[in-house]
Amino acid sequence: MSHSMPSGSEYLPHFATEGPSDDAKAHAFRQRMQDMFSVGLNVKSLEARPLAAQMMAYRGRKLRFAALRFSPHSTVSSPAPAGKETRLLVSLHKKGPAVVSQGGRENRIETGDLFVIDPSRPFYIETGEIETHSLYVNATELRHLVPELDVATARAIRCDSGVGALFRSTVDEVFTMAPSLTEDVADEIADALLHLLAPVVRSSVQATEHCPNRLASMHRQRIVRFVRENLSDSNLDANMIASGVNLSPRHVYQLFDDAQKPLMRWVWAERMARCRRDLEQPSLRTKTIGEIAFQWGFSNVSHFSRAFKAEFGMTPRELRKNAGIHTTESIELR
């Protein structure tokens, strides 16, 4: 499949990660994103999941965008080469769950949400299987329109009404036009999209007036990051967390006093959620329930099964059966 494109632009109807290993696939994707969009993204498959990414992309002088499909993965910033242009990531979430973090903020992203990330600053994204429409916009130009941009990143911005809905429908239409865009038209569209995006982003900044203490929020973000990176360690407890983020155990507990779940109850729920996710994956049918439980820090399969049923209303075996996944369980953890 080929398309005649004007000088300076590139239309990529299909790109898929290839390589003998996840590291090779991640490198290929990172290089493609840097070359196409001037964004530094360091992608890593979540444990026990081979990395897979598919992309339809357009790169013009000013207008750059991509439709992406991704397997479960995490993404952090990858410093751009010296002297290289950097762009902001603006993502319209089409399908699947994600959690985004930057600047002491963490938010869950649902279908229909928009979020902005500045890849030049530390950030973290964790997703399930997702589909997104992403724009890569000039950071200087958007900051001129939204001076308070730095406090608007990593926020879930609904786009189901008002100017948000207008922006979303315009972006979707631009994606359908990709094969036939000329460079001059693409430049004008890029300018129009920035002026549509600005009021959408500004609307999210109002929420910052009611956000909790910034330092406490930053500490919680560090704790969340540390926990998610160490969930598979069965020794993970408040003392280990406190040591990992250079805070006292008492302070770590206090930071979660006003959370929906106390600290270690939240850690337990995070482990349970990952076990459920793995148990529902057909690609992991060869792994026993015990192996999955052990992978996420549980040390006794019988206790895990009882707790799993109390949490989700069914045993791990029943969950797999309902999902059409049949395995022979043979491992016992003690």
Tell whether 222 and 275 lie within a shared domain.
yes
Q: Which of 102-106, 142-146, 164-168, 208-212 has the lowest mean pLDDT?
A: 208-212
Residues 222 and 205 in one domain: no
Last residue of a domain, one of 210, 237, 262: 210
pLDDT of 3 reads 37
Average pLDDT, the chain: 82
Which pLDDT score is estimated for 76? 84
What is the model's pLDDT at position 122?
A: 87
**Any domain includes 128:** yes
Give residues with Cβ within 8 angstroms of 188, minimum separation 6. none
Residue 323 pLDDT more than 70? yes
| β-bridge partners, 67 | 56, 133
Q: Cα–Cα distance between 248 and 274 in angstroms, integer?
A: 27
Q: pLDDT band at residue 330, thresholds of 50, 70 and 90?
A: very low
Domain boundaries, position 154: 10-210
pLDDT digits (tens, 9 = 90+) for 159-206: 988 999 999 999 999 999 988 999 999 999 999 999 999 999 988 776
Tell me the average pLDDT across 64-84: 79
Last residue of a domain, one of 210, 229, 249: 210
Percent of the chain with pLDDT over 90: 31
Does residue 296 share a domain with residue 166? no
Q: Provide the CATH number for the domain around residue 182.
A: 2.60.120.10
Residue 48 pLDDT > 70, yes or no?
no
- Give yes or no: residues 49 and 142 share one domain: yes
Residues 150 and 286 in one domain: no
> Is the pLDDT score of 94 beyond 80?
yes
- For the chain, helix, strand, coil in percent to 5 are 45, 20, 35
- Residue 237 and residue 162 in one domain: no
Query: Are residues 19 and 165 part of one domain?
Result: yes
Hey, CA dihedral for 123, 153, 228, 327, is it positive or negative? negative
Q: What is the CATH number of the domain that holds 281?
A: 1.10.10.60
pLDDT of residue 331: 37
pTM: 0.59
Among 33, 40, 158, 155, which residue's Cα sits nearest to residue 101? 155
Report the pLDDT averaged over residues 207-218: 61
Q: What is the β-pairing status of strands 53-59 and 10-16?
A: antiparallel
Q: Are residues 58 and 103 in the same domain?
A: yes
Q: Is residue 332 part of a domain?
A: no
Residue 63 has pLDDT above 70, yes or no: yes
Q: Are residues 193 and 285 in the same domain?
A: no
Total number of domains in the chain: 2
Same domain, 103 and 161: yes
Q: Are residues 219 and 198 in the same domain?
A: no
**Residue 263 and residue 193 in one domain:** no
Q: What is the mean pLDDT of residues 62-75?
A: 89
